[in-house]
Structure 1
Amino acid sequence: MKRAATLALAALMLLTAGCAFETPRAKVSRASVKQSPRSTPTFGEVYVVTKGDTLYSIAFRNNLDYRQLAEWNGIGSDYRINIGQRLRLTPPGAAVAADVVTQAPQRVTPTQSVQPVLPMLDGAGTWEWPTRGTVARGFDAGGNKGLDIAGELGQIVVASRGGRVVYSGAALKGYGELVIIKHDEQYLSAYGYNRKRLVNEGEEVGPGQPIAELGEGPAQKPLLHFEIRDRGRPLDPRRLLPAR
């Protein structure tokens, strides 16, 4: 009897020791488990056409090539769109990333001198400055998509290169009275903040031809906002314009 009691006590001690060395397990609540946003991508951004829109202006606003935008939406070579029409802004089946990763800006010490090299592009020498004045703000791929040129209110703005006017209006928010010129299958140029537009959509213009009168920018100061797009992508106009 005494031997049986001793064996029982030993077994109890072994059981207690085993529990002491068992690894603790965290309690997982179903409510606390969230699905990663990467596993549920959103497909296809859509834009609804409103009054004053053209295919060119919609593509311009969204940094797209107008030909790709037409292809994605089954639009013919006349590029005709209708009010209320829904246009996808991404290729069919393309996923829109849920997370955007931005790189922290590089710190520049006062002793460093940052002078960006601007290699000239093919076609440089066939462009001219759209108006006289000084560059008040330069191109910044992450911010300013062109050049802001300070001048005098009402001075003439000219076509930087020959082409056809594909947009003349004020429907693009943030650009004021805007003129867009298609130069070829590669380049578009845009002229914003005008006081008055002097050309209409569909007109052919030559290099240096007056197309607008310079107006006021957001700070209520005389300013021209000038952009050049390469297949829908903004580029630094100084890579095509003659040196000043």
Structure 2
Amino acid sequence: MNCTQSFVLTALISAVLVGCSSAPRVLAPVEDRMASGRSSLNGGAAMDAAKALPGSENAGKPGYYTVQRGETLTRIALENGQSRRDLTRWNNLSNPDVIEVGQVLRVVPPGAAVEASGVVVRPVTVGGEVPVATTPSKSAPAAAAVVADEGLGFIWPSNGTLIGGFDESKNKGLDIAGKAGDAVLASADGQVVYAGAGLRGYGNLIILKHNNTFLTAYAHNQKLLVKEDQKVRKGEKIAEMGNTDADRVKLHFEVRRQGKPVDPAKFLPAR
């Protein structure tokens, strides 16, 4: 899996989220209202069209993201460690498959305070959890950024041979060999936030959300056995290994911490 493909996955996690079918979803392309405005209107009218884009008043503010050409809601959700369903709800999107270049989306929960430094203060949860300030991993030493798994106790998602390690610039996860049909297991308890084939380069893909910090992704499956919104347990079989969008049968496994890929090997038990 190359860097471009992995970047596409990184945006996903949360389109992970409208509909419960595991059947492949065809995502509509991003609309470019500004481009069409320039071609059909005079300069002043085109500028007015651009200003009218949803959320434009929040452009550049912490906790918001401006849609770029070629992106999907699924990709944006993944890169920000959220679910597609949450982004749809937070931004009142009538059709999550249609977003526009230049549109500004909320990518943190309403009520969460986001400082300019990137520190996110989460709101109080239903369970009474107090607000927690969280700093992105890039501001901490690399070794310290992935020490704690918040009690999730990740396990290996497959018993196959490791054939590709984590490389920040080339491979955002681990590649594990196996035979077609081999079991793919949930690495920790979680909820399915995406199950489909809407991201080029990942084939049949499952994304699990484990808590407000961690997501895991399982790519290239031949068959998906879970649906979006379904809760799964650690060690549960969620897919069968395959070679969709891959040059051989393998599982591509990623761990995402606040939407950013980290080395899964640092969370998994030694073999």
TM-score bin (small chain): 0.5 to 0.7
Quote the Cα distance in structure 2 between the aligned partners of 1:80 and 1:189. 28
Cα distance per residue 1:63-83 (max 9 Å; x no partner):
22328x968x9526xx88523
Partner deviation per Cα, 1:101-149 (whole Å, 9 max, x = no partner): xxxxxxxxxxxxxxx9797434477110001111111001111000000
Which of 139, 150, 157 is the equivalent residue of 2:166? 139
Asked if 1:232 corresponds to 2:259, the answer is yes
Q: Distance in 2 between matches of 1:166 and 1:233?
A: 16
Q: How many corresponding residue pairs?
A: 172
- Which amino acid in 1 is paired with 2:91? I
**Matched-pair identity in %:** 40
- 1:165 Cα offset (Å): 0.3
Q: Which structure has the bigger radius of gyration? A: 1
Partner of 1:22: none
User: Aligned residue for 1:46?
Assistant: 67
Is the counterpart of residue 179 in structure 1 residue 195 in structure 2? no
* Structure 2 unmatched ranges of 5 or more: 1-59, 108-141
Matched, 1:189 2:216: yes
CA contact (8 A) 2:91 2:105 kept: no
Q: Residues 56 and 163 (structure 1 numbering): CA distance in 2 closer, same or farther, change over 3 Å?
A: farther
> Which amino acid in 2 is paired with 1:84?
V
- When residues 191 and 185 of structure 1 are mapped into structure 2, their CA distance, relative to the original with a 3 A threshold, is same
Query: Is the 2:204–2:244 contact (alpha carbons within 8 Å) kept by the matching residues of 1?
Result: no
Q: Is the 8 A contact 2:220 2:243 kept in 1?
A: yes
Which structure 2 residues correspond to residues 92-241 of structure 1 after superposition, within 5 A? Answer: 120-123=147-150, 126-216=153-243, 220-241=247-268
Name which structure has the greater RCO, CA cutoff 8 Å, separation 6+. Answer: 2
Tell me how far 1:239 sits from its aligned partner.
Answer: 1.1
Contact 1:134-1:149 at 8 Å conserved across structures = yes
Aligned equivalents of 2:176 and 2:169: distance in 1?
A: 19
Cα distance change of structure 1 residues 75 and 48 upon mapping to structure 2, 3 Å threshold: farther
Q: Distance in 1 between matches of 2:239 and 2:200?
A: 18
Q: Distance in 1 between matches of 2:175 and 2:244?
A: 9
| Cα root mean square deviation, aligned | 3.6
Identify the residue that residue 85 of structure 1 maps to in structure 2: 99
Q: Which of the residues 14, 33, 58 maps onto 2:76?
A: 58
CA distance in 2, matches of 1:83, 1:117: 38
Moved over 6 A (4+): 116-119
Contact 1:133 1:149 in 2 (8 A): yes
Please tell me whether the aligned partners of residues 140 and 146 of structure 1 are also in contact (alpha carbons under 8 angstroms).
yes
Taking the aligned partners of 1:49 and 1:179, their CA distance within structure 2 comes to 21
- Give the distance between the partners of 1:154 and 1:166, measured in 2 at CA: 23
